[in-house]
Amino acid sequence: MPSFRASALARSDIREIGAYTIHRWDEAQAGKYLGELEAFCQQLAEGHGVGRACDDVSPGLFRVDCASHVVFYRSKPYGVRIVRILHKRQLPTLHSFEDDELDEDE
């Protein structure tokens, strides 16, 4: 079954999204929203979402909107590699898209 894997930067983004959501709303809302993001990433891995190319930010990168955020990912043999999850108001050109995945992990 196809799956998704998150980069260290994406995992950090998820922690920040969770902390912000708890601060702004509450833990229940954070859990709900993070669950929706996880389900969305799994759907991407299974081929249910098609992003648009974002080569100007990083070669081979795609982006797709998910609620208030944009998921940046790369297609991989196992599914997708989630590289970043940024709020849609954030400019991607101001953020790093370095991926910590080694080729042999594919």
Confidence of residue 106 (pLDDT cuts 50, 70, 90): very low
Percent of the chain scoring above 90 in pLDDT: 84
pTM, full prediction: 0.91
Whether residue 71 is predicted with pLDDT greater than 90 in this model: the reply is yes
Residue ranges and CATH numbers for the domains of the chain are 3-92 (3.30.2310.20)
Interatomic CA distance for residues 96 and 23, integer angstroms: 25
Mean of all residue pLDDT scores within the chain:
92
Specify the pairing of strand 62-66 against strand 79-87. unpaired
Percent of the chain scoring above 70 in pLDDT: 94
Structure tokens of 40? Answer: 């969305």
Cβ 40 vs Cβ 48: under 8 Å = no
Cβ 57 vs Cβ 74: under 8 Å = no
pLDDT tens digits for range 15-33: 999 999 999 999 999 999 9
Q: Residue 64: beta bridge partners?
A: 71
CA dist 90 → 17, 47, 95 (Å): 13, 26, 9
